Amino acid sequence: MTFFQQQRGRGVPFLVIDGGAAFFGSPTKKAPSISKERQSLNVARNILNAYNYLGYHAVGIGPSDLQFGVDKLKSLLSRAEFPVVCANLVEKTSKKPVFTPSVVVTLEGMKFGIYGVCLDTLNPNYKKRVLGGKYDLLDPYETTRDIVARLRKSCDMVIGISHLNIADNEKILGQNPGIDILLDPYSRSGNKPVWVTEGEYVAWHGKTPMIRIDGQGSRVGICEIYLPRTGNVEEDYAIYDYPLEPQIMDHPVMKDIARGRLVPPNKTPHKTTLFEDLFLGAGTCGACHEKQLAFWETTKHSKAYASLTKTGDHLNSECVECHTLGYGLSFVEPAKVGEFKEVQCENCHGVDAKHAEDPARYRLGQVNETSCWGCHNPQILKKPFYPAKVKDKVSCPRMEK
Ligand code: HEC
Ligand code: HEC
Ligand code: HEC
Ligand code: HEC
């Protein structure tokens, strides 16, 4: 979430796309029990709420999305506030697509055509179970050829969400030079490793990147496109992944969604919403906890922002997230950091502004080590971290009873 806020805060126009297979776990051999199905659909509703809030531009369909049948999927996705694209899932008799085949998004005057196709070579029993007599999956080769030709006429760039086996996607790229970017999200059935290792995110087919970011939802793939394109892929694209593990702080809306609370429909997606009243800040905490404030001032956490200003990195959005409070929630533009400088009390103790109104009722509780890991992230800093060993150094003195 913070990642999306950060990108939006930078003011760079961007598309948010999900390859699909987003809503349910792996399909089971036999039809799931009613209670399992109900449970999965409840989780899927929360995911859908989250996707609505994030403001996706397009989401594809993968084979696992079909596991409770097309009618159940349709009913779930009737509440989607984003286009679900799948060109080859059709009603059997009318051949009418169940979802929209493609969507055209205009960004900065550029037209991006995004289509989707889903694997048709499913296990026959599974196929019968999920499609029934009512639906069908058309040949993805023909479907791709038709839709790419159509989009090509009106769009500046054509992006495929191609939920197929890797060999099929390679062939499709050979046959359809009109595709500018192919997203290859299908990672099951030994088709490709579940964990895509670094360096394998992108395979070039001529000047077309085939991108497959995985990591079980723990990473987002980023494809930066520099316009106007020069024809030199090195200059035109930067493609990499971004780990979501350092969830610097919980997002209040996402927390509600995960708890199954209904969040009002997102009428203005793609906007950055800040939460100015979420944090109290060290000054307010310190008014009641003088001793702890004085201790904190002796730790390097209280100078973390100062460490950045020395080198001018306080304006670098890649640095401020771990050297401030609530980046992405309280502010996004580094220059607007205001009172959120330094690693403050709430970075460790958690957030609940009501604590100040009624401390005995709204308790902050014990400091959880997971709060440390977001910043002391060994993967990013290339430095090990042993919280149990160093916790005493930063533990404030206990309150007097
Ligand atoms: C919001 C990010 C963030 C969180 C959360 C965080 N740290 Fe830090 N920590 C930092 C930064 C940044 C520094 C370096 C500050 C500097 O020198 O500029 C640091 C420095 C330290 C140091 C050296 C401090 C000193 O005064 O010598 C220790 C020890 C430490 N952290 C432990 C922890 C522990 C334990 C937790 C969890 C209870 C934690 N940190 C939570 C970002 C964080
Ligand atoms: C993932 C969180 C994170 C990010 C991102 C991050 N830092 Fe830090 N930084 C830390 C932590 C944690 C420490 C304390 C490390 C320790 O003492 O073990 C630290 C320490 C520092 C220090 C003081 C200690 C030292 O090594 O000299 C400086 C200066 C610093 N960071 C600069 C930067 C700059 C510049 C960037 C951006 C390029 C950056 N940091 C990005 C978490 C982060
Ligand atoms: C690096 C993380 C970190 C930061 C930053 C931090 N604390 Fe603490 N604080 C701790 C830890 C760890 C303890 C020990 C108790 C525990 O484990 O929960 C503690 C203890 C406390 C206690 C005593 C709790 C009790 O049960 O007696 C208070 C009050 C407190 N902190 C307030 C603050 C205030 C106010 C600030 C900011 C000025 C602050 N803390 C900043 C980690 C932190
Ligand atoms: C209006 C005064 C006041 C403010 C402001 C305040 N606290 Fe407290 N805090 C208290 C009191 C009083 C207690 C003891 C509650 C009890 O035990 O009944 C307490 C308890 C705590 C504890 C012990 C654990 C718990 O949940 O009881 C921590 C940690 C703590 N405060 C941290 C903070 C932090 C961090 C802030 C700022 C975000 C903050 N406090 C702001 C008055 C305040």
Per-residue pLDDT at 212: 83
Per-residue pLDDT at 190: 42
Per-residue pLDDT at 266: 54
List the Cα angle 221/227/231 in 5-degree steps. Answer: 90
Q: Which residue has the tokens 């399909």?
A: 27
Task: Tell me: pLDDT of 262 over 60.
Answer: yes
Q: Which residue has the tokens 């400091």?
A: 367
Tell me which ligand sits closest to the C-alpha of residue 299: 1
User: How many C-beta atoms surround the C-beta of residue 300 within 10 A?
Assistant: 12
* Residues 6+ positions from 49 with CB-CB distance below 8 Å: 257, 262, 263
User: How many C-beta atoms surround the C-beta of residue 208 within 10 A?
Assistant: 20
Q: How far, in Å, is the centroid of ligand 1 from the Cα of 5?
A: 24
Residue type, 274: L
User: Could you tell me if residue 342 is left (phi over 0), alpha (psi between -120 and 50 degrees) or otherwise beta?
Assistant: left
Residue from 245, 249, 279, 300 to probe ligand 1 pocket by mutation (most atoms less than 8 Å from CB)? 300
Mean pLDDT of 373-381: 83
Tell me which ligand sits closest to the C-alpha of residue 286: 3
Burial class of residue 147 (count of CB atoms within 10 Å of its CB; 0-12, 13-18, 19+): buried
HSE-CB of 297 using CA atoms within 13 angstroms: 10
Q: What is the pLDDT of residues 21-63, one digit of tens each?
A: 989 988 888 888 999 999 999 999 999 988 988 889 999 999 9
Per-residue pLDDT at 270: 46
Task: Tell me: pLDDT of 213 over 60.
Answer: yes
Residue from 322, 342, 343, 393 to probe ligand 2 pocket by mutation (most atoms less than 8 Å from CB)? 322
Mean pLDDT of 77-98: 96
Contact between 332 and 6 (Cβ < 8 Å):
yes
Per-residue pLDDT at 134: 96
**d(C-alpha 158, C-alpha 153), whole Å:** 10
Comparing 209 with 267, the larger pLDDT belongs to 209
Residue among 171, 194, 195 at smallest CA distance from 182: 171
Task: Tell me: pLDDT of 271 over 60.
Answer: no
**d(C-alpha 56, C-alpha 296), whole Å:** 41
Q: How far, in Å, is the centroid of ligand 3 from the Cα of 358?
A: 18
Task: Tell me: pLDDT of 219 over 90.
Answer: no
**d(C-alpha 202, C-alpha 210), whole Å:** 5
Q: Which residue has the tokens 């159509």?
A: 150
Task: Tell me: pLDDT of 371 over 90.
Answer: no
Residues in the chain: 401
Task: Tell me: pLDDT of 191 over 50.
Answer: no
Q: How far, in Å, is the centroid of ligand 2 from the Cα of 251?
A: 23
**d(C-alpha 281, C-alpha 284), whole Å:** 6
Q: How far, in Å, is the centroid of ligand 2 from the Cα of 16?
A: 29
User: 262-266, 287-291, 321-325, 364-368 — which is least confidently predicted?
Assistant: 262-266
**d(C-alpha 349, C-alpha 363), whole Å:** 10
Per-residue pLDDT at 8: 61
Q: How far, in Å, is the centroid of ligand 1 from the Cα of 300?
A: 7
Residue among 177, 150, 161, 144 at smallest CA distance from 223: 161
Per-residue pLDDT at 253: 80
Residue among 83, 76, 89 at smallest CA distance from 17: 83
User: How many C-beta atoms surround the C-beta of residue 198 within 10 A?
Assistant: 7
User: 7-16, 152-161, 174-183, 392-401 — which is least confidently predicted?
Assistant: 7-16
